């Protein structure tokens, strides 16, 4: 998947992979060097490949880091790519052979709002966050409904050339 996406992005940008100076590769459920495995299928050029895993914000984190390197002048051409092989059903803990990194946070969630083993973990976490937001700021149920409707609309395609042409943008 990642190889195909990278090749398509490079073709769209009209550049060769040899111009890429760094890469930020986002995924959640892969092995520790899945980014290298994915990009070595495109080419082995010796660039630093950074593996990014930040749960639900993995893709935006990879893009942020890539953009930051260009904005800082550390590189002229940086690649950000994300991939994931999802399994059917709700998100859950798949690495049951080690201590869960979310245990402290999940314990706090359970203490604040309770916990139902029959309800997917992500729904309880984000749902609880939504309820807390409503309590603090008075947001209405209808507002959350509109967010859901908007989230189901197809997103506009971000063209690589457009990003590359405007990579001088600063925060």
Model confidence pLDDT, tens digit, residues 56-68: 899 999 999 999 9
pLDDT given for residue 56 in this prediction: 84
Residue recorded with tokens 């201590």: 99
Model confidence pLDDT, tens digit, residues 86-143: 778 776 667 778 777 788 888 888 888 889 988 888 888 888 888 889 999 999 999 9
List the Cα angle 83/87/88 in 5-degree steps: 130
CATH number of 2-86+154-165: 3.40.47.10
Domain locations in the chain as residue ranges: 2-86+154-165, 103-139
Q: Are 42 and 67 in contact (CB under 8 A)?
A: no
Q: Which two tokens stand for residue 130?
A: 């939504």
Provide the 10 A C-beta neighbour count for residue 4. Answer: 11
pLDDT given for residue 108 in this prediction: 86
Q: Are 119 and 90 in contact (CB under 8 A)?
A: no
- pTM score of the predicted model: 0.70
Model confidence pLDDT, tens digit, residues 21-63: 999 999 988 888 999 999 999 999 999 999 999 988 999 999 9
């Amino acid at each position: 998947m990642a190889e195909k996406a990278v090749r398509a992005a490079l073709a769209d940008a009209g550049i060769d992979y040899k111009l890429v100076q760094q890469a930020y590769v986002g995924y959640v459920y892969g092995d520790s060097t899945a980014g290298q495995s994915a990009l070595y299928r495109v080419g082995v050029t010796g660039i630093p490949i950074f593996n990014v895993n930040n749960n639900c914000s993995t893709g935006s984190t990879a893009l942020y880091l890539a953009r930051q390197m260009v904005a800082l002048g550390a590189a002229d051409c940086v690649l950000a790519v994300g991939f994931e092989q999802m399994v059917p059903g709700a998100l859950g803990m798949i690495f049951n052979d080690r201590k869960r990194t979310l245990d402290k946070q999940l314990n706090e969630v359970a203490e604040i709002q309770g916990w139902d083993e029959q309800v997917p973990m992500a729904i309880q976490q984000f749902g609880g966050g939504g309820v807390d937001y409503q309590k603090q700021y008075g947001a209405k149920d209808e507002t959350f409904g509109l967010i859901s409707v908007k989230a189901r609309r197809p997103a506009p395609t971000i063209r690589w050339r457009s990003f590359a042409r405007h990579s001088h943008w600063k925060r």
